[in-house]
Structure 1
Amino acid sequence: MIDQSVEQVLSASGDFPRIGGVRGKNFRGILPTGETALFLLAAGNLEKRVQLQKLFGVEHLFGRKAVLWLEDLPQGEPAMSGRIILSKEFVDLCLTGQRPKPRFGINFPAQQLETLQDWEDLVLNEMTMQQVRDLETWLQYGDVLLQDWGLAKKIKPGFRVLFHGPPGTGKTLTASLLGKFTGRPVYRIDLSLVVSKYIGETEKNLAHLFNTAENKDWILFFDEADALFGKRTSVRDAHDKYANQEVSFLLQRTENYAGLVILATNFKSNIDDSFARRFQSHIYFPLPRYEERLRLWHSIIPEKVKPGTQVDLHHIASQYELTGAHITNIVQYACLQAISRGESTITETDLLEGIRNEYAKEGKVLK
């Protein structure tokens, strides 16, 4: 349409500076710039031009919600000569009524976590479960607290929580369930695609991640967060200097993110103290006790599968200190052995062999 308008004015091919616009790399027509919008909507009306420029400002609703903006330009170029960028997500929302899911890759290094399990499948001690329920309460009523009750002037937006404890104790499942039962997508960050050995690249990757997540009400889950949120060190060389800058940058972005940020680590002591102080909640996921291990055994063994007459789950739960992840692997092994025999009964031997396999992974020997 812009090309046709230019052709009506120009008798020969060439540029039309007054209307602005640039040529795309693949698109062979004119891509509109801020100058294009001013020319078409205000022409020579200076007062109207000044008002229209506010549409592209960072304080305008379009800018705050990342709907419409002008591309960044080299220093010295007129600001309004930048291309008009309309959020692809906003376009898709207008056309289809749905927000498209971001595609996992280098530009969005996070994958959505989903689960078929329910709260009943999560076995935690009473204190940990109560803290998780408190977190669910914030997800449900945080907007009421900030907006309706007026605390937005007093506290920062969003919520930051640290999950810490041994592997296999339910940290990832808890994050998945929080999203499932509050209607929020949960994205687990792939740190291998975020952390870069090149100076400035890690911050760039993180900025793109948080910019994409902004205004979406997503839950961001940083598993094995030590790689990003580790303790800052004394500056001995340039590498230490930039590593500390990465931590400072990440601290700033997490504090400004309006949604829920979950850090998960096996060792709380590995997390930088600045993060620990600024997180509203620290939730410890300990190794399950006997009662919890027994509940895990009963909940993980499928209903169609029957333990053999010699299987004493009370004894197994008491004798072997295992996590939920361990027990899941053991039950999977035992069920496969039963299926290979053409049976629906798992034996004590199946379970003990599965336990032996799990112990062997950690360098332990089953006695």
Structure 2
Amino acid sequence: MQNANTIIKEKEAFPSSENGKPGSSYLAAALKYLENYAAVWLEAYFQEKAPVFEPPPVPSGQDTSPFARFVKQFKPSKEEMLLVLTALVPHIIPGFFDRMVQRCLPEGGEFPEFGGIKGVNHRAMLPTGETAMFLLAGPDLDERLKFLQLFGEQSGLFKHKVLSLELPPPGEPLLSGRLILEPEFAEVFTTGKVALPRLSTQFPAEHISTQMEWNDLVLSERIWLQIRELENWIKNSETLMSEWGMGKRLKPGYRVLFYGPPGTGKTLTATLLGKYTGKEVFRIDLSMVVSKYIGETEKNLAALFDKAENKGWILFFDEADAIFGKRTGVRDAHDKYANQEVSYLLQRIEAHSGLIILASNFRNNIDEAFIRRFNSIIYFPPPSAEERLRLWQQVFPAAVSLEKDVDLEAIASGYELTGSHILNIVQYICLSALEKGEQRVSMADILRGIQREMEKEGK
């Protein structure tokens, strides 16, 4: 069974909305197969005769619909195919299972062997593990015991996060929980694409992107070399871990610390890294994730990592010292749970298979015990005079011309500003010029913008 990395990445495993459509021919044939399969089992059950099944349909070589590609790449067994279809069908045919039961019980009645529960908003039957087990084995006890392993966490569909089995209330049978097709798969099978998650309490991360290019980022050669190392890991990590067999010796994923003053390019570097490697980047502000309520921080982080698992996303933790700062001794219950939060986050970070970037203004703010866990540490210093000059030279829009009295070299040498400062200043200058109906910028305009920015910084 193939790794989920080759299945879930919609850009590689599934066609996007531009280069492919969800398609209906093969999926319709598969759902018809499920209907016939269920009808045979139900008829055999009520008429007490042996069921005879047809084999599941096989997608054609030309079929590039998402569900067909999933079947070709994942190569599910007949039983796994039934599990996926059972979990998928409510997303397409809401009353599917109700109608199947009504055919056998036209006057109504209970049929507990078939399982199923009602949803909160969904008024039709939702399949449970019991529903799937009936379709797999009917009332045959030996077959039911044999197929129980399909619902285990190490079973392919569950291990690779295609399916999950909702935990039932305490004391109730395990298979009475809902059989759930993970949202990404439900979405891609029905729409042909996967929408990126939005910032919410269930997903405390914000998708970030940029229209800027690597040329817009002014960094030293030392930093560029370290960034190339990260690109190399993204490009070759799967080969290193799988084909070269280093997965048994190395921890999964890659962990990096970006540190340096605000405005020196940490966030932009992470965003451009995603842009040029084809990876989505999500920024997590740990100061927002950390909750004053015991257990809520772990819950917030679990939701994030569970969603990001095997997606190939770059996770950028901003303000990392909010949780990775110097640990304290345990003086009270708050300290105890704060340290537990750190331990939990560290555990999830070390188990994550993707690239994780933690950003901090100061390296000394991060506990040394955590520093040792990073594969790479990159310092983003304030730009030098030469780098500031390059920033000034390239940041003005083409529509603006500089007066002859503008001395960018003197400005770069005389004012220790970061790239973020310079961008703010130029924005102010350009807006002022537009307000006056001008397209030329003088030395006085720039100095006025610098003074305004420094006052804002309290300097």
Question: What is the TM-score with the length of structure 2 in the denominator?
Answer: 0.77
Kindly state the Cα deviation for residue 276 of structure 1 after the two structures are TM-superposed.
1.1
2:84: which partner in 1?
none
Comparing 60-69 with 253-262, greater Cα deviation is found at 60-69
Q: Where do residues 331-342 of structure 1 align in structure 2 (5 Å cutoff)?
A: 331-342=426-437
Distance 2:367 2:440 in 1: 49
Matched, 1:303 2:404: no
Instruction: Output one character per residue of 1:29-88: Cα deviation in whole Å (capped at 9) or x when no partner.
Output: 222111111112211223332333222211122112211111012332211111111112
Matched residues in 2 for 1:192 and 1:278: separation?
A: 21
Mapping of residues 106-255 of structure 1, within 5 Å? 106-255=201-350
Q: Distance in 2 between matches of 1:184 and 1:94?
A: 22
State the match for 1:350 in structure 2: 445
Q: Which residue of 1 aligns with 2:171?
A: 76
Contact 1:160/1:261 (8 A) holds in 2: yes
Is 1:264 aligned to 2:349, yes or no? no
Write out the 4+ residue segments of structure 1 that deviate beyond 4 Å after TM superposition.
Answer: none
Distance in structure 2 (CA, Å) of the matches to 1:127 and 1:289? 13
Q: Which runs of 5+ in 1 are unaligned?
A: none
Shifted more, 159-168 versus 220-229: the winner is 220-229
Q: CA deviation at 1:211?
A: 0.1
With over 3 angstroms needed to count, the CA separation of the structure-2 counterparts of 1:339 and 1:4, relative to structure 1, is closer
Q: Does 2:142 correspond to 1:47?
A: yes
- Residue in structure 1 matching 2:115, options 12, 20, 23: 20
- Note if contact 1:33-1:83 (Cα within 8 Å) is conserved in structure 2: yes
Aligned CA RMSD, in angstroms, stands at: 1.4
Separation in 1 of the partners of 2:374 and 2:227?
Answer: 14
Distance in 2 (CA, whole Å) between partners of 1:356 and 1:174 is 28
Which residue of 2 is the match for residue 86 of structure 1?
181
**Whole-angstrom CA distance in 1 between matches of 2:204 and 2:173:** 34
CA deviation after TM superposition for structure 1 residue 248, in Å: 0.1
- Name the CA distance, whole Å, in 2 between partners of 1:135 and 1:275: 19
Q: Secondary structure, in 3 states, of the residue corresponding to 1:227?
A: helix
| Farther-moved stretch of structure 1 (127-136 vs 249-258) | 127-136
Q: Deviations over 1:204-247 (max 9, x none)?
A: 01001000000100001111111122222100000000000000
Distance in 2, matches of 1:267 and 1:17, equals 61
Letter matched to residue 345 of structure 1: R
Deviation for aligned residue 1:193: 4.1
State yes or no: 1:61 paired with 2:173.
no
Q: Give the distance between the partners of 1:15 and 1:44, measured in 2 at CA.
A: 16
- Number of residue-to-residue matches in the alignment: 364
Length-normalised TM-score, structure 1 = 0.95
1:110 partner letter = A
Q: Residues of 1 paired with 2:117 and 2:400: CA distance?
A: 67
CA displacement, residues 120-146 of structure 1 (integer Å, 9 cap, x when unaligned): 111011111211111111111111211
**Counterpart residue identity of residue 289, structure 2:** V
Asked if structure 1 preserves the Cα contact closer than 8 Å seen for 2:119 and 2:126, the reply is: yes
Instruction: Tell me how far 1:268 sits from its aligned partner.
Output: 1.2
Structure 2: any 5+ residue segments left out of the alignment? 1-95
**Over residues 243-288 of structure 1, what are the superposed CA-to-partner deviations in whole Å (9 max), with x where a residue is unaligned?**
0000000000000111111101101111122321111011000011
- Identity among equivalent positions (%) equals 58
Aligned to 2:75: none
